[in-house]
Structure 1
Amino acid sequence: MSMQVAWKQVRVAVTLVLTTGLSATYAQNTVSAVSPGSGTRAANRLNLQQCIDVAQQNNIQIRQGRLTIANSDLQLRQARLNMLPTAVFQGNQSINGGRSINPQSNEFVQQTINSSSFQLNTSATLYNGGVLRSTIKQNEVALQAGQQELNATQNNVSLTVAQNYLNVLVGTEQLAVAQRQAEVTRAQLERTQRLVNAGSAPEANLYELRATLAGNELDIVTAQNTLDLAKVSLLQAMNVPINQDFEVEPISVPDPGLDPYTASVQQLYDVASTNLPEVKGADLRVKSATLGVQVAKGGLYPTLSLNGNLSTIYSSAASAATLNGQSTQTTIGFIVDPVTGANIPINASTPGYDRTGISYGSQLSNNFSQSASLFLRVPIFQGNLSRNRITTAKIQQQNAELTALNTRLTLRQQIETAYTSMRAGANRYRATQAQVASLEKAFQVAESRLNAGAINATDYSIAKTNLDRARNSLVQAKYDYVFRTKILDYYQNKPLSFN
């Protein structure tokens, strides 16, 4: 199994150690050490948690997830505010010229009128089929689901950084192995050179060892290139430029024990299905979709609301009449004198009035009115709109249930794969460990026989190459097996520890 495949399960294993927080000062110093756009470094060594902190701050998906939570929180607060009564104030100021209607008396007048009107309307929903309360509950659950999904995103980002961090550690250790291999070959070459000069060994051995050393130096170059690429991947996972000169702190990984893992697949699944944020988020989405069905069903019920209104008006054409003590005589008809036959006029006295304007404040006070009403809205037929909304909500509920089911199915498959891989890793480590022990003894024998002139350099190179390959395989097998056990520890909600 390739190293890339071996580390896929590691992404899940290290989430607990990745999410432990540091102090604010420590995190700030970390970001200043490796930050976006920085061409220089303040520190040349980073540990795993420092890399995680930088990635958490720079990752775009996490920032988007936080914005999603902020939007969900805003929707929840708005849903709660929708329970409160609404109030709207309206004001109007107008000027009409020519033939206009006096808003005070509703009479036509031929003058320029300056008028004002003010209204305050309020409304409170008394009953609407529980839509408001169900909407609040739905938004509360949606906010919780968003928080769990953000936790899952943060874990994924942390695990990606950890995977690349571990690749750097493996590359560093393999580079050290390649350098030690070259040093052994170089020492043997010097020893053989002295033997050749003394006439105790054939010159052909020098050529064989020089070819072996050249191969070792090529292995060093290959290991260095692999390490450089691993560092680039780590920096990219942290979302910082690759022009960073840094080293990573090693993780203390002891030689793994080969005791059988105590938990079964079912036990691992039972614990993981109640702790992973992906599962919690999927379950909360199902609950939110169920509440969405209740919201949609509320559209079938009547809506009862209480409305209130306060209003007043002002008109510059409004005036008040006041008696001035004068009167006007007006002939309204005649009667005939029966004696003379003359027409005698009949006069009527009309009292005189003075017209004065009404002040602004007096008009607002005199024209002030209030009203209250109950409004009942009963849906009878709306083109089947409400029932179609219910059907859509039920489809969304079923889709959320299938998503939650698929999340659990994927989790079970991951646990089964991780458990099987752990057992395979144990077998591989055990076999590789035995192989290295045997090849070390074989190499010691070959080295002694070469120094004694009993074998040629070709046989020595073969023994050394076999040992070098086995040691590289042992490095991979060691990290592979240890972290496969940590994957299973993660599913059991255990803290990650290498002690």
Structure 2
Amino acid sequence: MQVAWKSIGAIVALMLTTSLTGTYAQTNPNAESLSGAATASSASTPARLNLLQCIEIAQQNNITVRQGQLTVANSDLQLHQSRLNLLPTTSFQTNQGINGGYSINPQSNAFVQQTIHSSNYQLNASFTVYNGMVLRNTVKQNELTLQASQQELNATKNNVSLTVAQNYLNVLTGTEQLAVARRQAEVTQAQLDRMQRLVSAGSAPEANLYELRATLASNQVDIVTAQNTVDLAKVALLQSMNVPINQDFEVEPVNVPDPGLDPYTASVQQLYDVASSTLPEIKGADMRVKSAMLGVQVAKGGLYPTLSLNAGLSTIYSSAATKSTPNGQTIQQTLGYFTDPNGNNLPVYTNSPQYDRLGVSYGNQLKNNFSQSASLFLRVPIFQGNLSRNRVTTAKIQQQTAELTAQNTRLVLRQQIETAYTNMRAAANKYRATQVQVSSLEKAFEVAESRLNAGAINATDYTIAKTNLDRARASLVQTKYDYVFRTKILDYYQNKPLSF
């Protein structure tokens, strides 16, 4: 039975597009209760969940899905940052200082013996003009990385949903087999009651009564076994949803009519061609290959020169800065002497204005000392210990690894499709044979029941006939679900929506 349900798991991605309907209730993200999904208002009524609700709860609570969401968020952040790296970089810096004793006046670069307060302001900008297309290729690579992460997250969600669907269907199968076991016990109880009347009337031997009682006891054991199977299936379902098992709930049955046995129209190659172009794990692997190819181009960019444009604005202030200001006073000074015609040396006087040394205001210094600069910076790599070439080699190895991973993903997909197709054909044959078996055993049981009522056979022969029919009916339940969902698996590979 475990093997039968493994393939059923693949239907989960289809379940997200099914015609199953239901009200989506708010669920606790900490997975403490299923009460939010209950459809009844009474606290004593168990929650009733459909498959889509179980999948939604599982995807909200699953740790691997959450990790995948964080990976997508991180990839998106890296893409955003790589786009910002295309823009110029700017920075502002300032320096406030105090120097005492013998120091340099930053205003005049002269040595002075005093305490100086100084300020320095700089605004710088840099823009990469060319660096071997590293920045732009990095943006393209991060775009593919983000898309690959999103596809891998979708694949993770599908895998989580596979497990939920498998366990959900185990609950449905166990529930139906439990109903079959109870109907079997009801038939045995009715036959036991009738035999009790015949024995009391002396029309049948008392041994038949004991045989039927033993059969009824066996049916009760089958009911207990079936109930245990349902309980274990519910535990597995809750665990796959990451919900504590102390939850009282029921699952809504899926309307699965008796299937037809017409041959499946698509071939293995057709299934593979569609699946290889639609499944998220294949898309994610292909995007990883493309991302690795761009990684090689990014690494090769390290072999090329880097040209950048730089610009800056700066100004300074110093408390030692002074300027000369006229004070309105003059002083007579002798410029020299000249000799008149008589041979006398006469002095030459001039009136020189007098100045005071005053400090320069903070704002005026910032304005007067304001300067601009612009430059082109070229860096040509010549030898760096072969670092850039080794990075290229490493990037090529990563590309080859991604290509092999993509090839292996396709190989696994083809093998899964081949196995699913073979299992579908085997399930069809088994379902057809089981239908014939049940039909034959029903007729045999009707004959045995009639002969038992007529006293032509004993209760042992009747019990054997009934047991064979009961087992065949239980097997028919399993083969029915098995065959139907194996066909839905193949529909999933064809990217078809699930409908019943």
SS state at 1:125 partner: strand
Deviations 1:58-114, CA, capped at 9 Å, x for gaps: 222222212211111111111111111111111111111222211111122221111
Whether the aligned pair in 2 keeps the contact of 1:18 and 1:158 (CA below 8 Å) is no
Equivalent residue number for residue 184 of structure 2: 181
Aligned residue type for 2:415 = Q
Q: 1:201 aligns with which of 201, 204, 207?
A: 204
Question: Per-residue deviation at 1:229?
Answer: 0.7
Match of 2:345? Answer: none
> How do 1:38-437 and structure 2 match up within 5 A?
38=33, 42-43=38-39, 44-324=47-327, 325-327=329-331, 352-437=354-439
Paired with 2:230 and 2:474, the residues of 1 have a C-alpha distance of 14
Matched, 1:31 2:27: yes
Name the TM-score, length of structure 1 as normaliser.
0.92
CA offset at residue 329 of structure 1? 7.2
Matches within 5 A, 1:431-470: 431-470=433-472
Larger deviation, residues 464-473 vs 235-244: 235-244
CA distance in 1, matches of 2:306, 2:488: 57
Structure 2 counterpart of 1:486: 488
Tell me if the contact between 1:102 and 1:108 (Cα under 8 Å) persists in the aligned partners: yes
Letter in structure 1 aligned against 2:436: A
Quote the residue 1:477 is aligned against.
479
Aligned-residue offset at 1:17 = 2.2
Aligned mates of 2:454, 2:304 — CA distance in 1: 101
Instruction: Out of 10-19 and 376-385, give the one that drifted further.
Output: 10-19
Aligned to 1:9: 7
Moved more, 162-171 or 242-251: 242-251
Deviations 1:291-314 (A, max 9, x none): 000000000000000001111100
Separation in 1, partners of 2:23, 2:110? 80
Q: Report the Cα distance in structure 1 between the residues aligned to 2:298 and 2:462, rounded to whole angstroms.
A: 80
Residues 35 and 185 of structure 1: CA distance in aligned 2, closer, same or farther (over 3 Å): farther
State whether residues 422 and 481 of structure 1, in contact with CA within 8 Å, keep that contact through their aligned partners in structure 2: yes
Name the aligned partner's letter for residue 210 of structure 2.
Y
**How many angstroms does 1:364 deviate by?**
0.6
Q: d(CA) in 2 for partners of 1:424 and 1:16? A: 22
1:107–1:349 Cα change, 3 Å: farther
**What is the identity percentage for the equivalent residue pairs of Structure 1 and Structure 2?**
78
Which residue number in structure 2 is paired with residue 18 of structure 1? 16
Deviation of residue 328 (structure 1)?
A: 8.7
Deviation at 1:273, TM superposition (A): 0.6
Give, as a single letter, the amino acid of the residue that structure 1 aligns with 2:32.
G
How many angstroms apart in 2 are the aligned matches of 1:11 and 1:156? Answer: 8
- Please state how far the C-alpha of 1:278 moved relative to its aligned partner: 0.6
Bigger shift: 150-159 or 368-377?
150-159
Deviation, 1:458, is 1.0
CA distance in 2: counterparts of 1:104 and 1:262, whole angstroms: 90
Give the whole-Å Cα distance in 2 for the aligned partners of 1:26 and 1:382. 64
SS in 1 for 2:486: helix
Give the Cα separation in 2 of the matches to 1:21 and 1:277: 22
Q: Deviation per CA, 1:379-434, whole angstroms, max 9, x where unpaired?
A: 00000000010011001100000010001000000010011111111111111111
Q: 1:136 to 1:367 in 2, by over 3 A?
A: same
Contact 2:11–2:165 at 8 Å: present in 1 too? no
Give the distance between the partners of 1:75 and 1:60, measured in 2 at CA.
Answer: 23
DSSP-derived class of the 1:273 partner:
helix
Secondary structure of 2:121's partner? strand
User: Larger deviation: 93-102 or 380-389?
Assistant: 93-102
Query: Residues of 2 paired with 1:313 and 1:373: CA distance?
Result: 21
Matched letter for residue 450 of structure 1: L
More displaced 10-residue stretch of structure 1: 318-327 or 42-51? 318-327
- Distance in 2 (alpha carbons) for counterparts of 1:311 and 1:185: 101
* Residue 108 to residue 22, structure 1, CA distance change in 2 (3 Å): farther
1:324-347: CA deviations, max 9, x gaps? 434497999xxxxxxxxxxxxxx9
**Aligned partners of 1:75, 1:318: CA distance in 2, in Å?**
49
Could you tell me which amino acid in structure 2 is paired with residue 117 of structure 1?
A: N
| Counterpart-to-counterpart distance in 2, 1:479 and 1:384 | 62
Q: How big is the shift at 1:22?
A: 9.8
Q: Which runs of 5+ in 1 are unaligned?
A: 333-346
2:277 partner SS: coil
2:346 alignment partner in structure 1: none
Question: Cα offset for 1:353?
Answer: 3.0
Equivalent AA in structure 1 for residue 225 of structure 2? T
Q: CA 1:6–1:21 in structure 2 vs 1: closer, same or farther (change >3 Å)?
A: closer
- Write the deviation string for residues 181-223 of structure 1: whole angstroms up to 9, x where unpaired: 1111111111111111111111111211111111110110010
Shift of the 276–240 alpha-carbon distance from structure 1 to 2, 3 Å rule, reads same
Q: Does the 8 A contact of 2:82 with 2:135 survive in 1? A: yes
The two structures, once aligned, show a CA RMSD in angstroms of 2.3
Q: Matches of 2:398 and 2:195 in 1, distance apart?
A: 77
Distance of 2:373 and 2:482 partners within structure 1? 79
| Partners of 2:19 and 2:194 in 1: CA distance | 54
**Counterpart secondary structure, 2:6:** coil
Does structure 1 conserve the Cα–Cα contact (< 8 Å) formed by 2:18 and 2:499? no
Change beyond 3 A, Cα 1:360–1:199:
same
What is the Cα deviation at residue 21 of structure 1? 10
Give TM-score scaled by structure 2 length.
0.92
Q: What letter matches 1:368 in structure 2? A: F
Question: Per-residue displacement from partner, 1:453-487 (whole Å, max 9, x unpaired)?
Answer: 11111111111111111111111111111111111
**Shift of the alpha carbon at 1:36?**
1.8
* CA shift in 2, pair 1:22/1:384, >3 Å: farther
Q: Could you tell me which residue of structure 1 aligns to residue 44 of structure 2? A: none
Matched residue of 2:156: which SS?
A: helix
Contact 1:114–1:316 (8 Å) recurs in 2: yes
**Number of aligned residues:** 481
**Aligned equivalents of 2:56 and 2:97: distance in 1?**
62
| Aligned equivalents of 1:21, 1:190: Cα separation in 2 | 46
Question: Contact between 1:128 and 1:303, CA under 8 Å: does it hold in 2?
Answer: yes
Contact 1:192 1:206 in 2 (8 A): yes
Counterparts of 1:284 and 1:210 in 2: how far apart (Å)?
67
446-455 or 390-399, larger mean C-alpha shift: 446-455
